Structure 1
Amino acid sequence: MRAMGWKRSGLPLCLLAIWLSQGVSAAADPIETEGLGLPLTCVIGQTCWVANYVDVDLSVEAHDFRCNRRTYDGHDGTDFAIRDLAVMVQGVPVVAGASGTVRNVRDGMQDVALTDEASRKRIAGRECGNGVVIDHEGNWQTQYCHLKEGSIKVKAGDKVERGSQLGLVGLSGKTEFPHVHLTVRKDGKAIDPFTNRQMSAGCGQEGKSLWRADQHVEYEPAAIYNVGFSTGKPDIEAIRSGKREDGPLAATSPALVLWVDILGVEAGDRVQFRIMGPDGKPLLEQESPVDRTQARRFAFAGSRPKTNGWPAGTYIGQVTLKRTMDGREKSFDVARTVTIR
């Protein structure tokens, strides 16, 4: 994501040279010494998830630093997604990852998911959407993109601390789902915060993470971020808007369907659905292969009542994503319950 407009310094060259040689070199580096905080207020893995990592493959292919495909070609930042549009409407603060000075801001772009080429062309040059750029000591810089229209609370020149609110997670710019895109730069070049290496480093090159230990930001090959039940074929657009059937459900419901939204599926993965009835016996056990690599995949499976209605009680749904990694099977599991009356 390109930086949003650079402003020239008004310092005379002689004073600027002194400032560069003395002020910057003597100042503490908050990112490398104190670590980088999350760019939004959330609990990683519970209320926010990494949707895309930095692309460290300079070819037309795309690979993250672990050589997986949790990224796309040319992606220079880390995307932190929230569950759905309803959560976005409630308001999720975007915060500064480290102390610094606001360099530039942009607001006034609508929160609209881009789903076609024409809409993408209309925002050319403004792909970041509403955003904030912060300069940090040590010639570091962070950029926060896709903020909600009208939510930005800072202006150029403001001093901020780590955790200071910048705005709210939105859907502005080049995006299809609510999230905040964070680009980290050192000396003007994009850095992968998971390795502290440039994008040109290539995959398989480990390094020292810039994330603060108390933020618990760990690499995940995939993430099951949204699971629920419905009484018929689930509406993907409604679910991603935040409309869910959380129950209790009626005993006369025509079907019981377990659905899931997953980040980072790869061709060859398997998705398993299981629904257990109140008596502990399985009502549904189904496994299907993933035919292609996708940033997000929505899937579902369900069952109909064998008698005149569903027995009252608590039903347990479990979704498991299975993947073969380094010759071994790795599983990602999430369970949900629903009550039928």
Structure 2
Amino acid sequence: MIGKAALPLLLLPALPCMAGSLQFSQPLDCTLGETCFIQNFVDRDPGPGWRDHLCGALSYDGHQGTDFALPTVADMAAGVTVRAAAPGRVLRTRDGEEDGAMAAGADVSAAECGNAVVIAHEDGWQSVYCHLREGSVRVQPGAIVLNGAPLAEVGMSGAAAFPHLHFALYHNGQLVDPFQPDLTESCTLAPTDTLFEPELTAAATGLIAAGFATTPPDYATIQTELPRLDTTTATAPALIAWGYGWGIQAGDILRVHIDGPGGFSFTHDTPFDAPKVRFYRLAGKKMPPGGWPPGPYRATLEILRAGTPVATREIRIEITD
């Protein structure tokens, strides 16, 4: 996460004429809400607080970009390509910054943006791509790139506490929020208001993943690589359902409901008294006397806001003799 791009922006003479009006595509290879999600939007509050374009809290003070986050470090290690969001000329690049340096306690103040690429587009536009994976930058300053050209891979370099792409847009040196460029304060967003083509639908709240466990997984494990458990035995010490999500708001409830053979039914509500950019919660039952009845079990996890589900995940596990 960064408060500013931390790479000097350089306005160049206009690029050669490009047909049609400038539009921006999604700048990385992922499916929003499934294999990536937006963890932070541009901060729209000019004061010491913060506010996203929907008047929510999915940002932080002074945040000048959109953070496209990957669920885990393992997803970063598998490689997710960052692509040019529009045709243009590469202005500046940086590589060689270590991934995870900030998490390891290193001073990254001299390179908050980490490994990065800055591209100049027509009509005074620039796009900035930060926190790229070390050693992955594929372009050099001066290169002309087409829309969708591979630039690098998503990383965790610079001031990044999690693997993500910090994507920022500037027009004539001024920051622009691609999800609401006209600076209105209506707290609503019609899809045609964004600068993305095709339009991006970015949920402000959701469940990244959910799963079963027989002992509680720690949060560090969830963030590194999602555990997967499809089967267990009748003597498992507990049956736990966990949920990992983003954008929870104060007053929301995470409801976990598990049902299974022999009329087994369990429901637990976890209320949230403060907003959280990411969250991890779990609920479950200890093994009953005589063990778990064999068969299929199902858990439904819901984020409830004012009693209405805003996100749902369903998971299953098979218990054997």
**Does the pair score TM above 0.5?**
yes
Query: 1:282, 1:113 → 2: CA distance?
Result: 47
User: 1:286/1:29 Cα in 2 relative to 1: closer, same or farther (>3 Å)?
Assistant: farther
Aligned to 1:127: 112
Aligned to 1:334: 313
Q: Render the CA deviation track for 1:188-229: whole Å, top value 9, x for unaligned.
A: 11111111235xx5563757211112xx52242312112111
Alignment of 1:120-269 (within 5 A): 122-197=107-182, 202=185, 204=187, 208-213=193-198, 217-269=200-252
Alignment partner for residue 72 of structure 2, among 73, 81, 84?
84
Aligned to 1:292: 274
Query: 1:105, 1:299 → 2: CA distance?
Result: 39
Output the amino acid matched with 2:8.
Answer: G
Aligned-pair distance for 1:323?
Answer: 1.4
Return 178-187 or 107-116, whichever deviates more.
107-116
Aligned to 2:283: 301
Q: Is residue 2:7 matched to residue 1:4?
A: yes
Q: Render the CA deviation track for 1:296-333: whole Å, top value 9, x for unaligned.
A: 11111111222333233322111111113xxx745321
Aligned-pair distance for 1:253?
Answer: 1.4
Return 253-262 or 189-198, whichever deviates more.
189-198
Alignment partner for residue 28 of structure 1, among 18, 21, 37?
18
The SS at the match of 2:221 is helix
User: 1:162/1:313 Cα in 2 relative to 1: closer, same or farther (>3 Å)?
Assistant: farther
Alignment of 1:49-128 (within 5 A): 49-112=37-100, 114-115=102-103, 119=106, 122-128=107-113
Work out the number of aligned pairs and report it.
Answer: 315
Q: Render the CA deviation track for 1:17-56: whole Å, top value 9, x for unaligned.
A: xxx5xx55x83376xx353111110111111111111111
The SS at the match of 2:123 is coil
Aligned-pair distance for 1:172?
Answer: 0.7
Output the amino acid matched with 2:18.
Answer: A
Query: 1:317, 1:113 → 2: CA distance?
Result: 37
Long gaps (5+) in structure 2: none
Aligned-pair distance for 1:110?
Answer: 0.8
Query: 2:304, 2:11 → 1: CA distance?
Result: 52
| Contact 1:265-1:296 at 8 Å conserved across structures | yes
User: 1:137/1:329 Cα in 2 relative to 1: closer, same or farther (>3 Å)?
Assistant: same
| Contact 1:63-1:203 at 8 Å conserved across structures | no
| Contact 1:170-1:178 at 8 Å conserved across structures | yes
User: 1:29/1:265 Cα in 2 relative to 1: closer, same or farther (>3 Å)?
Assistant: farther
Runs of 4+ in 1 over 6 A off after TM superposition: none
Aligned-pair distance for 1:99?
Answer: 1.0
Aligned to 2:260: 277
User: 1:159/1:322 Cα in 2 relative to 1: closer, same or farther (>3 Å)?
Assistant: same
Query: 2:309, 2:171 → 1: CA distance?
Result: 35
| Contact 1:270-1:288 at 8 Å conserved across structures | yes
The SS at the match of 1:170 is coil
User: 1:172/1:29 Cα in 2 relative to 1: closer, same or farther (>3 Å)?
Assistant: farther
The SS at the match of 1:292 is coil
Aligned-pair distance for 1:2?
Answer: 2.3
- Superposition RMSD in Å: 2.3
Aligned-pair distance for 1:148?
Answer: 0.8
Aligned-pair distance for 1:337?
Answer: 1.6
| Contact 1:34-1:212 at 8 Å conserved across structures | no
Query: 1:234, 1:92 → 2: CA distance?
Result: 26
Output the amino acid matched with 1:27.
Answer: C
Fraction of identical pairs, as percent: 33
Query: 2:247, 2:46 → 1: CA distance?
Result: 20
TM-score normalized by structure 1? 0.85
| Contact 1:283-1:303 at 8 Å conserved across structures | no
